[in-house]
Structure 1
Amino acid sequence: MPVSNNMLKTVLTVLYTFLLGLGCCFTTLPLLAQSGWTKVKTEGFYQLGYNHFSSDAYFTLDGEELKTNDFTQNSLVFYGEYGVTDKFTVIANWPLQVWNGFSSTETVSGLGDLRLELKHALLKKHLPLSIAIAPEIPIGKANNFAQSKLNDFESINLPSGDGEFNIWTTLATSFSLPNAPLYVNLFGTYNFRTQYDGISFSDQIGLGIELGYKIADLVWVNSRINALTSVDDIEVITDFVRGDGTEYTSYSFGAAVPVYRNIHLSLNYRNYADFIFERRNIYSAGTFSFGVYYVRKIEKP
């Protein structure tokens, strides 16, 4: 049967829309560094950070790399920790604004989902060990359509939030050397996912390690490896803009320097590889981040 122009146009439109939508599989809330330590009562850490990501390399559910239009995401994120007691810390991670767009679409923006973490110290002295429960509250824009620059009648959903309520449960431990400014954090996490608009998502398992060292008693540097995999074997992208079936291994390098009293400047670079879990259902490239943070310490008598 000959292919009509209208049928061909429809097929191309669907393919174009599919490739555009894949970009939202890059999440604004990657696995964070976790530690076994909790804050001392009333102590705090507050950071405002800016992240920039751009990529045309999409990895399918089969791990195959595809080249698409450039997808760019920028985000302004607040992160804070507060010691309610010496053993209980409240943590907030909230993208205050997320900008998403392809080179072939307009850029759309919106509030991101709020991750509110409740962290409790199981052990404090010899080997700090903590457990944390972190609900991710879907207050961001689950539907945020960007208009195509190529065809006025086409648009694609580039949400700033995934519309899904999920809960991260994390077990973390840390240790430091008594006579050297060196620390190590290890953690494992389980993400219990639910559904959005009648579509259920696979749970996820994550793990990570972080090493930090203070140079000249002034500059903290760190390196991290994070990895994420899906519990279920996802064969079909049921809703590709929500990141179902996303897997990756990421590595990052960062530094923090004091600028005035308890105010610091932080810089970080993060990218992806395949040495623990292969990249699947994700755009892959480097993310550049910088931020300013304030540390509130309690003066010892």
Structure 2
Amino acid sequence: MKKNLLPIALMLFILTFKINAQSGWTREAKGFYGQVTASTFSSHDYYTTEGNLSDEGSTFNSHSIALYGEYGITDRFTSILSVPALVLNNFSTTETVTGIGSIKLGFKYKILKESPFAIQVDFDIPTNDGVNFATAKEPDDFGQINTINLPTSDGEFNVWTNLIASHSFPNGKTYGSIYSGVNFRTESFSNQFQAGAELGHLFIDKFYLIGKLKILEKLSSNNINNQSGSFLYGEGTTYTSFAFNGVYKLNNTYSLVAEYSDYTDLLVNRKNIYDGATFALGISVEF
């Protein structure tokens, strides 16, 4: 009997960890999951829209506190809400600007009743017009105090549509997922394509380790003028990213979660992006 329960326990464990996780499982009806996460990023290595590494002479820093929640409407239909409640952006040469990031409202539907194969649609809702100027700490060579736009939200509405398939291996402690999707963007921004894979394993019945690989590509060029816009709009941004996630179960309700992620040119070259590691730490609750 205990052996038969292992795949069920595995699915619950997978659903517990939600820092950028993708899975074909949905939450059970009336089940709730919530998470608060703090993350930090810092880098001075900028890859241009042509993919060339350019040291801009200053370091870009971004810190955030994000809220995430899921609620099972039915056993096969889950609602999702993600809110970057506080985002702080600055360069080493500027003051810090703060704001709320774009809010993501999503819905996941398990297409096959007995198999973890799902479609997920996320509505990316802007919280501002994409303008948030940071003031330079020092005047330039001409004595002028410059400003630079460091938006916390890109000011445009997105619709992400993803197909996700997962599989639990017979040992009941290992799972894998693959997914792909398209981001339909507005305001003349280029549509995007993403695809990725995840592999996770449960150790000592309390610690879960997940390895992930993801690519982001540009599908179209709707407005070439956007190519010179802020990298924070994501226009012309492409990359291969990898990450390692961990979750430690404190008890049946609370867990500690953590993530390390970075970029590489393994499958898709880095373009219009600051290259560096992101560290995240959070706590989750479920019932």
Q: Same fold (TM over 0.5)?
A: yes
Q: Residue 259 of structure 1: which of 242, 250, 266 is its match? A: 250
In the other structure, the counterpart of 1:181 is 173
Indicate conservation of the 8 Å contact 1:98/1:160, yes or no.
Answer: yes
CA offsets 1:201-230 (integer angstroms, 9 cap, x no match): 100000011111110111111111111000
Deviation at 1:32, TM superposition (A): 2.9
In the other structure, the counterpart of 1:74 is 63
1:55 maps to 2:47: no
CA offsets 1:209-259 (integer angstroms, 9 cap, x no match): 111111011111111111100012586614234120100000000111122
1:239 maps to 2:226: no
In the other structure, the counterpart of 1:121 is 110
CA offsets 1:52-71 (integer angstroms, 9 cap, x no match): 00000000111100012100
1:158 maps to 2:146: no
Partner amino acid, structure 1, of 2:105: L
TM-align CA RMSD: 1.5
Partner amino acid, structure 1, of 2:234: G
Unaligned runs of 5+ in 2: 1-18
Deviation at 1:140, TM superposition (A): 4.0
In the other structure, the counterpart of 1:107 is 96
Indicate conservation of the 8 Å contact 1:112/1:141, yes or no.
Answer: no
Range 50-59 or range 180-189, more displaced: 180-189
1:286 maps to 2:277: yes
CA offsets 1:7-26 (integer angstroms, 9 cap, x no match): xxxxxxxxxxxxxxxxxxxx
In the other structure, the counterpart of 1:299 is none
Deviation at 1:33, TM superposition (A): 2.4
Q: Residue 216 of structure 1: which of 184, 200, 204 is its match? A: 204
Distance 2:201 2:54 in 1: 38
Distance 1:93 1:82 in 2: 12
Partner amino acid, structure 2, of 1:239: G
Indicate conservation of the 8 Å contact 1:37/1:124, yes or no.
Answer: no
Partner amino acid, structure 2, of 1:156: I
CA offsets 1:30-88 (integer angstroms, 9 cap, x no match): x9322111111011221100110000000011110001210000010011111000110
Partner amino acid, structure 1, of 2:238: E
TM-score of the two chains, using structure 1 as the length reference: 0.83
In the other structure, the counterpart of 1:248 is 239
Indicate conservation of the 8 Å contact 1:34/1:185, yes or no.
Answer: yes
Q: Residue 34 of structure 2: which of 46, 49, 55 is its match? A: 46
Q: Residue 82 of structure 2: which of 84, 87, 93 is its match? A: 93
CA offsets 1:76-116 (integer angstroms, 9 cap, x no match): 00111110001100011110010000000001100111010
Distance 1:251 1:202 in 2: 23
1:273 maps to 2:264: yes
1:16-27 correspondence to structure 2 within 5 Å? none
Indicate conservation of the 8 Å contact 2:138/2:145, yes or no.
Answer: no
Give % identity.
Answer: 37
Range 109-118 or range 175-184, more displaced: 175-184
TM-score of the two chains, using structure 2 as the length reference: 0.87
Unaligned runs of 5+ in 1: 1-30, 297-301
Indicate conservation of the 8 Å contact 2:80/2:107, yes or no.
Answer: yes
Indicate conservation of the 8 Å contact 2:264/2:270, yes or no.
Answer: yes
